[in-house]
Structure formats: C-alpha cells, structure tokens
Structure 1
Amino acid sequence: WPLSARSPEALRLQATRLLATVTDPSSPATPADLGLSLATTRAAWEHRAVVVGASREALVEGLSAVAEGRSAAGVVEGVAGEPGRIAFVFPGQGSQWQGMALELLDSSPVFAARMAECGEALSAFTDWSLDDALHGRGGVDVERVDVVQPLLFAVMVSLAAVWEDWGIRPSAVIGHSQGEIAAACVAGALSLEDAARVVALRSRSIVALAGRGGMVSVPLPVERVREELTGYEGRVSVAAVNGPASVVVSGDVQGLDELLARWTEAGVRARRIAVDYASHSAHVEELKDELLDVLAPIEPQAGRIPVYSTVTGQVEDGSGFDAAYWFTNLRQTVEFETATRNLLR
C-alpha cells in the first residue's frame, strides 16, 4: 500500500485515516483493491511510505507503524527527489540459466509479444526455435554459443520492452561484449532484424573456435595483468577490463594454464570461465572475412538513445555500427570500465 503526503505529519495522519478504513469490518475493499486505488487514484507528494505484506494482517501492522511513526518489517519511508537519469546495462554471456524468463513469458503480455518478435527475427538465421530453447524442448542445446547468445539477446531486448512499458526509459545504454548488440537494438541503432542477423550469424561463426581456447577471470588491475602477459604476445591477451581490479584474459589453452598456475601459486584468486573458445583474442582474426561478409547487409543508423560503446569507450550515436564494428566488438578488448566511467561522468 503506497502513501504520500506533503509533510511527515500529514503522512502519519493519512496512515491513521486509512487504518480506520481497513480495520472497519464493514469495508468491502480487498488488500489488492486498496493497493490499486492508492497507487493510481491519489496524488504523489514528496513524503512517502510503502507498506508491503503477504496478508491483510501484515499490511495492517505495517500501516499502524507508519501511523505511529515507528519502523517495522515491510515498511519503507523516504522523501522523493528529482528523478535521476537511468541507463540500461546489458550483460555478456554467462548470465543465463535453464528456465529463465518462463514466468515472465506467461505473466507479461509485453514481454511475450517482444519475445515473439525476436523469435520471428531470429528464425531467418537459425535452424532452431527460440520457444523450444526457452522451454528445453526439441533437443536444442542451450550450452552452444550459437544458441545461448541469441537467446540472451532476445531476453534482454524483451526485458527492456517491459521496463519501457512501465515508463522506465533509459537516457543511455551500455552493453558488455555480445550485450552491446541488444543495447544497439534498444537504442534504435540496429533494427530488430539487423540485430538478429548480427547475434545469430556472429555466434554461429564462433563455433569454429570451440575447443581451441579459453578465458580466465583475474582479480588484478589491468596494468598488472598486462605485465604478467609479457612473453605471451599472440597467445594470451586482455579480453575485458570490467573494473579497477577485474580483468578477463583469453587465448591459447596452454598459455592460460601456465598463467592460472602462476596466479594460483601467488595467491591470486584467478578462475577459469566456462567457455572453450577465446573471444577478444587473436583467435578471432580467422573469422574476419566471414563476419564482414555475412554482416555486410546490416544498415545501422543514428539511434534515439546514446550508446556508451565498450569498443571505443566513448558515447556513440550508433550510425557506425556496421559489420566492421561488430567484428571489432568480438576481436578487441571489452573496455567496459572506461565506458562505464564515461557514462557516469
């Protein structure tokens, strides 16, 4: 039950009046009815309280606390300020789990409709069904990179549609590695069809790299990591800079094994990432001609929302997000920290 008023005293009085109503045995209103009316028919002032409960009794207890000016479980109070600007941040691979999005698919018409559009767009470039992949049907292996990346793309784009339908609209977007494809789509720099082409055909190309490389997460500053990679030029490189002491390296299996053993011995809690290919390394060079060819038809344009690029680290309008850009996005270091710092600045 949300409440608001122009002063703390008025907020207590409003809670007291509402308490008299909800404890009246003759009142026909259900907790859900009251919640809807409070949220949609009352003015929103700066002094606010929200009471959350799984039963009428819990809600009444929380409302009593607001009326008496005391704290209680399920009660949040605060003073609203000017709304800040919002960025949508789209993750890279690794955020998935079997069964994700199924409840939202059943409960949100907006999410379901956007997922259906994504499925239709992806069907032009895949031999499997998005719906089958989500539900674990049809023998679709969701561990395959050419399945999981399009699947994540569809979920991210559809989640953004839900947020925007709720009135939560971003002032900027940022995407980590393959997450930047979803970011570009939500920003309007890529049409849904072009974004589906990029995520489906690029991830299909990555299959050729499977079994020949890997990636390791290292909790060290990037300057230190680059020093550690001396002598590994062309074999292991910095794949992503995620924070002041959060770096990913990728490359040859043997080189990664040697580095991982060295870091472990030194007490550095480096860990192997569960992939068997080396994105953002020299391995990707062999895909260049193919990717420039299959992604040539896309037509990027200036989007409606600025994109903080993890390729350049700078704000981009999206008009340069052509085939060469998406090859570079896969080939070079993900400059997530730089892009995030510039976004915050």
Structure 2
Amino acid sequence: AAACVAGALSLEDAARVVALRSQALRALSGRGGMVSVSLPVDAVRDRLAAWGERLSVAAVNGPSAVVVSGDADALDELLAVCEAEGIRARRVPVDYASHCAHVEAIEDELRQALEEISPQSSLVPFYSTVTGGVLDTTGLDAGYWYRNLRQTVRFDEAVRALLADGFQVFVEASAHPVLTMGVEQTAEEHGTRVTAVGSLRRDEGGLDRFLTSVAEAYVGGASVDWARMFAGTGARRVELPTYAFQRERYWLESAGVAVSEGAAAGLGLGSADHPLLGAVVGLAGGDGVLLTGRLSLVSHGWLADHAVWGVVVVPGSALVELVLRAGDGVGCGWLEELTLE
C-alpha cells in the first residue's frame, strides 16, 4: 500500500504483491504463529535464546512493542514464561510465522510469482521497514518483497528516521490501527511530540470513521484538501463566531487583608509603610520592634512566579527586604549575612 501511494508501484503491481504473497503464505498455515510482547527488543532477544532458531524477532514496532514468530509449541512456551514473569504478551490471530525461517520454504515461489512487477522511482520519499531508512524504490522488485516478508520488520528504525527528518504526523492506513502506539512511544523516546492516527477501525469501516480520522489528522497538523474531499456535496467553509470567548468565575474571591495606617493606629500599632508589612510595634521589654504582615497569592500575585517543585515559596530577595526593613526600625541599615534552611 505504501509503495503504491508513493508512486513506486502501479495499483495493479501493488495488488499483485498483496494477493500472490498472501496466497503463497497459505503453504505455511498451521506450522507456526506470532506473539506480541511488551518488552524492549534486547530483553526479548535474551529470552528467545533458550529456543534457538525455533523463535525469532519478527518485528520491532516501538521501544516496548516487539513481535515474535516461530514454531507454535515454542510460542506456547514463551507465553507461559511471560505469564509467569508478569510480562504482557498476547498471541497474534494468525496460524503462520512470517519474518522467520519458515518463510524460506516459499522463497522460490514468491520470486517467480512477482518477477513481472515493474517498480519505478517514486516522487514521494519511501522509508522502508526492511532497511530502516529511505530507499530508492526502483529496488522494490520480487527479491525485495521476499526480504520484506523474511527479515525482521525494522519499523521503529524507520519511524526514527522520519522523526529525524522532521515528520510529525503519522497516519496508519489499515483496517484497524496497531502501530500508532509504537509510533507515539518511539517519538516520546526521541523527545518529540507527534500526531499518530489510524484510518479505519475494527467494526468501523465506513466513510464516517474515515472522515473522523481525516479530521483527527488535520487537527494534528496534516494538510487536507477539503475542497476535493467535499466536492459535489454542497459543503462550504464558514467563519468562526465573531464574539469573543468569555470566561466567568463563580468562586468567591478573597480581597486579601491589608492593614491601613488608620487601622493600625486603631489597634495601637504603627504603620509599617511597606508593601510586604502591615504594622510595627515596639517590644515592651526592650528596644526591639516587631513587624507583622500577611503575604498571599491574592494580595501579592507575583509570588506565584517563584515556585520550587510546584510549591510557591517566598523568594530569598523578599526575605532580605523584610530583614532590611526591620533593621531600619532599629537604626541598623546593613545586612551582613542571611542564612536560610
């Protein structure tokens, strides 16, 4: 499908590859199977060593999305091991094993069946899951399509190559999306945010689902030819409403507590005449003074700009200011050292 969309294969040749390869695979029916395992590929390979050539890594779809193929009984044993270790693994609903040694039995048949296809150089860059990068599509001959079925699918490498080249929107054209999660995980590991959508979904194969997927891709940044999409339907573009979006809060707002000069005097205190302090009073037992005030995000909204690990903390500069103001009250205008714990 990708080769056809890119312009590397004609529709007829692409259909021939799909149909004849599927037909050849029937010879492998009943001999093996495939299992998806939610582990990094290196961890999967370590576990597969116990089965030798009976099991192989069939596909690497993401950082923790690996498919294993091989003998049916060996896969049963692998599933049992995964269950015992608490590893998420499930059987893929097929009764043959592609991307492993089983495929070698149909190599000659495939090469003969596909020898007449005529690949050509595509205008759209073609990122191959066989090589893990951009490929000259004149090489998409019968031999390529055999390797495509025999070798490990290097999907994760192809996605990383796309990410490195700046692509951020991924559309999985299929009857049901199975690779979008792998794309998102690979992008997350790469430190990139992407949009990954399917085209159709299981039990949702109609036009409504397809148009919904187109809209999801469009919102994520894909370019859509809407005029062609709705040609002949009478659909037209409309302007967004011209009124401004309005927000109204229904929670009661605290006005904060500030001690004015008059209020301080009424309480027998002196005004601190300071934006962070409300009142000052001399200590009865000596020459010291006590300054008091209240800080809050309501009365001092700028405090919200200073947060540590998500918690608003009064900045050290504000504490220095408070200490200096206190020093002024007793004729000590210098701060030599302030230690905060």
Q: Normalising by the residue count of structure 2, what TM-score does the alignment of the two structures yield?
A: 0.48
Pick the structure with more helix per residue: 1
* Higher RCO by CA contacts (8 Å cutoff, separation 6 or greater): 1
Q: Normalising by the residue count of structure 1, what TM-score does the alignment of the two structures yield?
A: 0.47
Structure showing greater radius of gyration is 2
